[in-house]
Amino acid sequence: MRSTIDSVTPETDDKPDITPQAELRHNPTSFLKLILLGFSIVGLPLIAALIYSAIRIDQLAEQSRQTIYQATEITHGSSILIDEIIVMERSVQHAHILEDISLLEGYFQAHTNFEKTAIKLMEASPYLEQQLLLEKLQLLEATIFREILTSYNTPQSLRDLLNQFANLLILAQNFSTENYRIIGQKINEMSEMALRTRTLVEWELLILIPFVILLALAFSVFIARPLRQLDEAIYNMGQGKLSSAVKIAGPENLKYLGSRLDWMRRRLLKLEEQKIQFLRQVSHELKTPLSAIREGTNLLAEGVTGDLNKKQQQIVDILQTSSIQLQKRIEDLLSFSALQADKVALIKQRTNLAHIITTVLKDQNLSIMSRKIKIDLTCPDLMLECDKQKIGIIIDNLLSNAIKFSPQDSCIKISAIQMDQTIQLDVIDYGSGIDITDEDKIFEPFYRGRSKPNSHIRGTGLGLSIAREYALAHGGNIQLVKHGGQGAHFCLTLPIQDPEVQP
């Protein structure tokens, strides 16, 4: 026997279409840049809101500073005006009473200070009301000053001017009162402006926080999508689902990673094809010498070469049993190869399920008798459209599995019932059962559970996998029924009518 398998070497068709340098050179976008862009866009509204709030607060602070400065200057200036008016009045009064013109020097000094202060106040005050009052003050004070110059040589005439100083003082006090009123008004305006700014900031936060959260969620979904695609692709490859191409939508470096995964998928597909071809070749090459062994063993058992003594007959029985087991293993490999290559053709016909079960029991009779197992069969005549050979393989695999793990002098229950348009077949044994860690894996090809059979024969791990594939090909299924008792319980469901021809 000679079988070969091609060495796995990279080929031109299996290489990724784009090298990382070429891909990133044409499109340098990366996953890191996508994350940075997401953070930038999410943080931009908050940054803009903070900048706007800072500008508003700065404007409020600047306006407050200017208002306080103007109020301080005007208050101080109005105080000086009142003091200078009092000084001027006192100097004129002294000059009049003492009839000493030289005492008016204090008046002239106060007059100069009054004019300077009034000019500063005119420049400092931006308010029209105060400017009008200052103009009245300056006009009245200038009138008094001209009259004093006219009466400079006659101190007795200064008496008539004293009443005008009282009016001048009243105007100055009115100016001061107006200043306090404007200060109060500005304070109210600043309070209202502060309140508006606070309300605006609160509304900004109320609107921006949900918006930013939604934006962050949207970008999280957008950023996580290629990662989910990668995870799904890796999971599918781990599960052996290699038919679908790997496509990653997202940044260029993740797209490149997706192309590498797709290259790996194609390589695994090629390796899988080579494995199936190898199994097919080995199985076919094993069948020829096995047929010769079985034929020779049958000739010995039939006594063609002469009668056999008891020991010789035992050896021939062992050879027959082992060759049958080996033939079943080879048939499992051939069936598995056909399943993997999607070359399973079902030849369906109207068949009685009870006859199939009876045939399988006859084929397994030697193993059943050797282990002294009792078969509890409950199966009425149930007709269904199926491939008789494939259904026989399903039942044979379930039964041989039950026999293998059943102890001596135990019982195997086989029952079949019809439910609507479906037939349910249950195979229950009372052996060691299936370990809880193996329950999700027993239908995988070549998987053999942790439970050890009660015989020296170890299977290939293909029986249950082939049985389920044949059941699925018929539109049915095989499931492991979990129960609290001892042993294993498998449930086979099959449609009565062919699903492909049902109206």
260-301 confidence digits (pLDDT tens) = 888 888 888 888 777 777 766 776 667 667 777 777 877 777
322 vs 11, more confident = 322
**What pLDDT does residue 416 have?**
92
Q: What is the mean pLDDT of residues 231-249?
A: 79
Supply the pTM of this predicted model. Answer: 0.48
Contact of 301 with 315, CB cutoff 8 Å: no
**What pLDDT does residue 167 have?**
85
DSSP conformation class of 239: T
What's domain 346-495's superfamily in CATH?
Answer: Histidine kinase-like ATPase, C-terminal domain (3.30.565.10)
Report d(CA 103, CA 98) in Å as an integer.
Answer: 9
The distance in angstroms from the start CA to the end CA of the chain is: 51
**What pLDDT does residue 423 have?**
92
Q: What is the mean pLDDT of residues 135-144?
A: 87
Candidates 285, 274, 287; CA nearest to 1 is: 285
Contact of 336 with 462, CB cutoff 8 Å: yes
Determine the 3-state secondary structure of 212 from DSSP: helix
**What pLDDT does residue 356 have?**
92
pLDDT digits (tens, 9 = 90+) for 85-128: 888 888 888 887 887 777 888 888 988 898 898 888 888 888 78
**What pLDDT does residue 490 have?**
92
DSSP conformation class of 407: P
DSSP characters over 459-503: --S-HHHHHHHHHHHTT-EEEEPP-SSSS-EEEEEEESS-TTT--
Candidates 280, 386, 287, 267; CA nearest to 341 is: 280
Question: Measuring CA to CA, how many Å separate 260 from each of 9, 14, 23, 168?
Answer: 16, 10, 12, 96
When pLDDT is cut at 50, 70 and 90, the band that residue 457 belongs to is low
Candidates 96, 144, 88; CA nearest to 114 is: 88
Q: What is the mean pLDDT of residues 218-222?
A: 76
480 vs 209, more confident = 480
When pLDDT is cut at 50, 70 and 90, the band that residue 486 belongs to is confident
**What pLDDT does residue 500 have?**
66
Structure tokens at 30: 């990366």
Candidates 455, 456, 465; CA nearest to 373 is: 455
Backbone angles phi, psi at 411, to 5 degrees: -130, 145
Question: Measuring CA to CA, how many Å separate 292 from each of 230, 295, 300, 323, 327?
Answer: 52, 5, 12, 10, 12
Question: Measuring CA to CA, how many Å separate 229 from each of 16, 224, 267?
Answer: 18, 9, 20
Contact of 443 with 464, CB cutoff 8 Å: yes
Alpha helices of 99-161 — where are they, by DSSP H? 105-124, 128-150
When pLDDT is cut at 50, 70 and 90, the band that residue 343 belongs to is low
Report d(CA 343, CA 445) in Å as an integer.
Answer: 17
- The answer on pLDDT for 425 being more than 90 is yes
Determine the 3-state secondary structure of 127 from DSSP: coil
Contact of 125 with 115, CB cutoff 8 Å: no
Structure tokens at 209: 């926080």
Report d(CA 199, CA 358) in Å as an integer.
Answer: 87
DSSP conformation class of 436: G
Mean pLDDT of the chain: 78
Yes or no: is domain 268-343 CATH 3.90.1150.10?
A: no
* Residue ranges covered by each domain of the chain: 33-210, 268-343, 346-495
Q: By mean pLDDT, which of 63-77, 139-153, 325-339 is the weakest?
A: 325-339
pLDDT digits (tens, 9 = 90+) for 350-381: 999 999 999 999 888 877 888 888 999 988 88
- pLDDT above 90 coverage of the chain, percent: 6
Residue with tokens 């200052």: 134
When pLDDT is cut at 50, 70 and 90, the band that residue 408 belongs to is confident
**What pLDDT does residue 491 have?**
92
Candidates 89, 92, 113; CA nearest to 168 is: 89
Q: Are strands 374-378 and 411-419 parallel, antiparallel or unpaired?
A: parallel
**CATH class of the domain whose range is 33-210:** mainly alpha
